[in-house]
Structure 1
Amino acid sequence: MHLSIPYLSKYIKEKSGGTFGEIVRNVRMKKACTFLKNGNMTVEKIADSVGYQNVEHFNRLFKKKHGMTPVQFRNKK
């Protein structure tokens, strides 16, 4: 695309209101919520499936975003 990284980062922030990392994190968390609601995969498998190799890191980010752990989210119905 022949665009500089700083320009592309600024463009993404202007158009979406979030950084590239925030957008990726939001997409991953949305997919994780879908897996938690609609399946019986382990939290470890879900973390790996959405791009987190470290399940503890995934749990921390999930709790920060949703105010509960993935297991609590799954059990909330």
Structure 2
Amino acid sequence: MSDFQQELDARGLNCPLPILRTKKAINGLTSGQVLKVIATDPGSVKDMEAFCKQTGNAMISTAEAGGEYTFMIQKA
């Protein structure tokens, strides 16, 4: 799926940096746009789910491959 407006590379960053950068990137998008986040911190899986619940943004998909986690988040 390449239907996204912005990509955030959070590889190599540990909590809370991936979530802080995601928050900043999402704030720069307009409603309905999609942010693709790539992270290597295993904790980011729960963090991103919690972030979406708290902010009302939609988690479209999550995937894991070779220790990299990819999140597709749609701005509310």
Query: TM-score band (shorter)?
Result: 0.3 to 0.5
* Larger gyration radius, structure 1 or structure 2: 1
Structure number with greater CO (CA < 8 Å, separation at least 6) is: 2
Question: Normalising to structure 2: TM-score of the pair?
Answer: 0.35
Higher strand share: 2
TM-score by length of 1: 0.35
Question: Of Structure 1 and Structure 2, which has the larger fraction of its residues in helix?
Answer: 1
